Structure 1
Amino acid sequence: MPAPLSVPLPVPLFAKIAIIGLGLIGSSIAHAARRGGLAGEIAGHDASAAVIETARTLGFCDTLHDDLALAVREADLVILCAPVGAYKAIAQAAAPHLKPGAILSDVGSVKGAVMRDVGPLVPPGVRFIPAHPIAGTEFSGPEAGFATLFDGRWAILTPPPGADAQAVDRLKAFWQGLGSQVDVMDAAHHDLVLAITSHLPHLIAYNIVGTAHDLEAVTEGEVIKYSASGFRDFTRIAASDPTMWRDVFLNNREAVLEVLGRFNEDLSILQRAVREGDGQTLFDTFSRTRAIRRAIIEMGQESPAPNFGRDLKE
């Protein structure tokens, strides 16, 4: 169930919200906002006419618009849910149509680039508060969304210096209403944290699947045929949207390269331990990381269900 709102605010929180991009996250926001009664009107827009038609069939938005200007007009909250690389063009097109007092936010996994690309385009009087829900699955598209995606998951807000405090509280209440726990942090710190907790694991997953495929000729197809649950679980995220993740890596280069360098150093230590038969180093490393893994589970940031808590009948 969604967390209770932390501050007394109007019900619904927003007369109109506009969701720009109707994939997994955008459609899930629509489902969860409807569940929580957080908006009088949920408007949706997507660059793809096919996606809009699918969204129309699924019915998670009250209104759907081919025209971005119509979608954001009179919206109290506009959320960019497209790939990060498209944000600048979307912001340029939407800016003239944003009403004074509206909140402009997003869901991107990178925040420094969002501040850089979108911040200068925000009109006076519009409150710009980037956000990032740390939730998702390997599926994409409007069919993939579901109302409980954010339940118990973290959403991080990265308001710029001098951001309107009431607007921050209102957006925080919105994400709590969607079911999230909410934290606030600096954009640069966010990008470093997510580089290690999300971006690097995706890079490794993409790479190990590629390596397995390259070995198919050598092993006569047995790598994929006999892949155990560990391989399948570890590489599940390699099925994630390639456009979205391309943009993430290109827009968080410095942080990703920093943690990738540290990862390579640690990997070299393990490589040397294997080569030299150093069982103690291997045991100590595995014991330490096992304890860290258990702590993640105890903090409730992993669902035991392979469907991420989604009803299998949905």
Structure 2
Amino acid sequence: MVDTPAQDGPLFDTLVVIGPGLIGASVLHRARRDKTIARKLIAVDINPAFRDRVRELGIADDVTGDAVAAVKDADCVMLCVPVGAMGEVAAAVIPAMKAGAILTDTGSTKVSVIESIRPFLRSDIAYVPAHPMAGTEYSGPDAGFATLFDDRWCLLTPLPDSTSLGSVETVTKLWQLCGARTREMAPEHHDRVCAIVSHLPHLLAFTICGTADDLADQTRSEVLEFAASGFRDFTRIAASDPVMWRDIFLSNREAILEMLARFLEDAQTMARAIRWGDSDYIVDCIERGRRIRRSLLENRQA
């Protein structure tokens, strides 16, 4: 866990989380558990079943479907909705936010989210885009838990024209209080990095599971019956929320297509090595994978 400086009282008086799914609910769990993030927690969701579940879990002081009313007295508003809905939600809540408040988001893509929110920004509202790189294949309020972000990275992509230094420091501290490591980077660089370490692996998992599902009935049943650990890992990733990942693929299409093209070239090279018995290339490729795995273990990211 990241050490954070001592502070007098919670970071915010009121924090509003719009979209208490896996990420949003985990923030609420952490804030409720530690009481260092906010004195008052408000959860907003358009789904009545989700609102009822958040009340049952007891992770927010107020739960509502009215985002505009919820944000009026908020010191920080966190958008945890799918990336395709960020602009619409921002357009609704930013006019109702009080001067001096901070707007942040948890979108998995940054360029498209920033472009969708930028037209609605106000000069007296600080906007700090962020992306906590933590998650599971589960979704909804029940998926959240207080330790989700422990030792995981949260990438911040502050904007020179709408982000003050103080607000960046505040949102950085928010994520550190959630247990995350933090780093700043440009939005474009963020999207290229996430395209290879997150988005492409999910695309491959969805595709491999689709290929298995398209096999003849007998073969497919055997695939499911005798699935080894590698295929099981793909199915875990492929169980992720389809709407969320549809939006991610479409909003980060250029970076994903670039990384997919590079992967296909490398896959063709491996295919040629297998076809012609190039054992040196095959072993080198496997060794590179082993080195990456060791690096992740050493960096406490696996």
**TM-score, normalised relative to structure 1:** 0.93
Alpha-carbon contact 2:128-2:168 (below 8 Å) kept? yes
Equivalent residue runs for 1:217-256 within 5 Å? 217=217, 219=219, 221-256=221-256
Residue 27 of structure 2 corresponds to which residue in structure 1?
Answer: 29
Bigger Cα displacement from structure 2, 278-287 vs 141-150: 278-287
3-state SS of the aligned residue for 1:129? Answer: strand
Give the whole-Å Cα distance in 2 for the aligned partners of 1:80 and 1:202: 23
Give the whole-Å Cα distance in 1 for the aligned partners of 2:234 and 2:246: 19
Give the whole-Å Cα distance in 2 for the aligned partners of 1:291 and 1:47: 45
In structure 1, list runs of 5 or more residues that go unmatched.
303-314
Give the whole-Å Cα distance in 2 for the aligned partners of 1:216 and 1:100: 61
1:230 positional shift: 1.8
Give the whole-Å Cα distance in 2 for the aligned partners of 1:278 and 1:217: 34
Residues 187-246 of structure 1, C-alpha deviations (whole Å, 9 max, x = no match): 000000000000000000000001111124251610111101221023311000000000
How many residues of Structure 1 are paired with residues of Structure 2 in the alignment? Answer: 300
Tell me whether 1:49 sits opposite 2:48 in the alignment.
yes
Give the whole-Å Cα distance in 2 for the aligned partners of 1:187 and 1:78: 20
**Ranges of 4+ aligned residues in structure 1 off by more than 4 Å:** none
Residue 312 of structure 1 corresponds to which residue in structure 2?
Answer: none
- The structure-2 alpha-carbon separation of the partners of 1:74 and 1:289, relative to structure 1 and needing over 3 Å to count, comes to same
Residue 10 of structure 2 corresponds to which residue in structure 1?
Answer: 12
In structure 2, list runs of 5 or more residues that go unmatched.
none
Residue 134 of structure 2 corresponds to which residue in structure 1?
Answer: 135
Give the whole-Å Cα distance in 1 for the aligned partners of 2:70 and 2:271: 54
Tell me whether 1:79 sits opposite 2:83 in the alignment.
no
Equivalent residue runs for 1:191-270 within 5 Å? 191-217=191-217, 219=219, 221-270=221-270
- Which amino acid counterpart does residue 132 of structure 1 have in structure 2? H
3-state SS of the aligned residue for 1:221? Answer: helix
Residue 275 of structure 2 corresponds to which residue in structure 1?
Answer: 275
Give the whole-Å Cα distance in 1 for the aligned partners of 2:171 and 2:77: 11
3-state SS of the aligned residue for 2:98? Answer: coil
1:175 positional shift: 0.5
RMSD over aligned CA atoms reads 1.2
The sequence identity of aligned pairs, in percent, is 48
1:173 positional shift: 0.6
Give the whole-Å Cα distance in 2 for the aligned partners of 1:256 and 1:91: 25
Give the whole-Å Cα distance in 2 for the aligned partners of 1:234 and 1:172: 32
Give the whole-Å Cα distance in 2 for the aligned partners of 1:29 and 1:269: 43
Give the whole-Å Cα distance in 1 for the aligned partners of 2:190 and 2:149: 18
Alpha-carbon contact 2:195-2:255 (below 8 Å) kept? yes
Residues 144-165 of structure 1, C-alpha deviations (whole Å, 9 max, x = no match): 1000000111001100124200
